[in-house]
Amino acid sequence: MSGIVQTPDGDYFDASGLSVRKGKPTEIRSDRPVVDQVEEWLTEAGMTLATLRMKGLRPAGVKINWPDVVVDPDDLCWLRDSDDVLPPPSSDAIARMDIALSWVPLIDDKRLRIVVNKRLIVNPISGKFRWDWRKLGRLLGIHHQTAQAWHRRACEVISKKIRSM
């Protein structure tokens, strides 16, 4: 089976890198470690968030209270690789994104939360993270492997808290 999928608009995209999910799409599976699934869901949430279509937004058109907003000039000048428009994410992907983004406030340690929030910024065209591990390490004044360990630790914190819910 090829990974080429046709959208309702008649466009094609390569979905071979997308994983096939067994069971309900919004449930944590019991056959795999929860911490690994939390990490995957957060990564997918970043990509889903990046591919959501935004229409009709004006400065006065949306009124939302955003938690933990970190203003960084580098985030503002990060341009897309091209003007290609990707197909909108599926409703299951959006539901998983909503669930995964609701986990971020469960992280009490501000440093861990910063690492998770920065890794949610993904380029929708290339799939590359805006903050790779080395750049994130430089931003926080730590080694890049420490930044990776903090992300893993944040996923462990989330997995413990969602298992106890």
DSSP code for 32: S
163 is written with which tokens?
């298992």
Confidence of residue 7 (pLDDT cuts 50, 70, 90): low
User: In whole angstroms, what separates CA 39 from the centre of its chain?
Assistant: 9
Q: Where are the domains of the chain?
A: 34-52+85-165
Judged against a pLDDT cut of 70, whether residue 73 lies above it is answered with no
Output the average pLDDT for the chain.
78
Distance (Å, rounded) from C-alpha 60 to C-alpha 103? 28
Predicted local distance difference test score (pLDDT) of residue 58: 55
> Of 25-29, 72-76, 127-131, where does the model show the most confidence?
127-131
Predicted local distance difference test score (pLDDT) of residue 13: 46
H or E element, residue 6: strand 4-6
Distance (Å, rounded) from C-alpha 26 to C-alpha 93? 9
Span of 29-33, 70-74, 134-138, 157-161 with lowest mean pLDDT: 70-74
Instruction: Express as a percent the part of the chain with pLDDT over 90.
Output: 45
- Reference 34, options 98, 103, 92; nearest CA is 103
